[in-house]
Chains A and B, each alone.
Chain A
Amino acid sequence: MEERLYDLIFICRPDTPEEEINKIIATLEQAAAERGGKVDKTEKWGTRKLAYRVAKQREGFYVYLVLRSTQGEMIKELERRLKVADPVIKYLTVRLDEEIKRQQKLVKRRERRSARRPRKSAGGAEQSAAAS
């Protein structure tokens, strides 16, 4: 299986101590590594207001990870761990590689178009993009 790219966001209770969040991130990284995955990026967005109440909380601590793996089993394991972890109130995994591939295709096509017709590059590329 080819390599896949995933976004993983999880929300902790706002009163969770920082060390505990770090611990969760560390266990996720370890679990990912065990299953042939890799964590590309880790971002702590901090406490944000939730759009709706989750587990009776109005705020939550957001953590954002970018993962890549060749095994889908990894996601299963990570989600299981997030489900079990007490401070985590919500999580979401999104597979992104297909969308990024599509994006690159569009960029390439636009470049090709503008190279072919340098005079009206902006208008031509835009129109055809809208039409397709």
Chain B
Amino acid sequence: MAEEGTQQSRGPAGPPQRPRREGGPPGGGPRRGKRQYFRKKKVCRFCVEKVDFIDYKKVEMLQPFVQDRGKILPRRMTGTCSKHQRWLGVAIKRARNIALLSFAGVS
């Protein structure tokens, strides 16, 4: 009976840690210490819809990936995959050039 307690040692308990990204700043960002929590797995919206081409002319499609002031939202916020984030960046920059979206900082 006492053995049972010892057998179930504190092994790999707790939620899985976030995978560390390579190429980040050496100091790392503000790490959340012991407060860990589960978060919903984000899925790339463009992969779900199988988008092969992100059109810079469709502003309403680009709008959710841009902050109010015009900054492009990072991947960790939107869950976009790297391929689509790359296309998205190009599309947003094109839209900015023709005044469909604002540049960051311009109100």
Contacts and interface: CB of A to CB of B under 8 A. Distances in A.
Interface of A: 7, 9, 11, 50-52, 54, 60, 64, 90-92, 94, 99-100, 102-103, 106-107, 110, 125-126, 129-130, 132
Interface in B51-74: 52-53, 56-57, 70
A9 B98 contact: yes
Nearest to A96: B53
22 contacts: A7-B57, A50-B99, A51-B96, A51-B100, A51-B101, A54-B99, A90-B98, A92-B94, A92-B97, A92-B98, A94-B94, A99-B53, A100-B53, A102-B52, A102-B53, A103-B52, A107-B52, A110-B50, A126-B47, A126-B50, A129-B47, A130-B44
Nearest to B48: A126
Interface of B: 44, 47-48, 50, 52-53, 56-57, 70, 81, 83, 94, 96-103, 106
B102 A51 contact: yes
The 8 closest A-B pairs by CB, nearest first: A51-B102, A50-B99, A103-B52, A92-B98, A103-B53, A106-B52, A52-B106, A130-B47
Contacts of B99: 11, 50-52, 54, 60, 90
B103 A52 contact: yes
B85 to A, nearest CB: 12
A60 B57 CA distance: 15
Given A9-B98, A92-B98, A126-B50, 14 more contacts: A11-B98, A51-B96, A51-B106, A64-B57, A90-B99, A92-B94, A102-B52, A103-B53, A107-B52, A110-B50, A126-B48, A129-B47, A130-B47, A130-B83
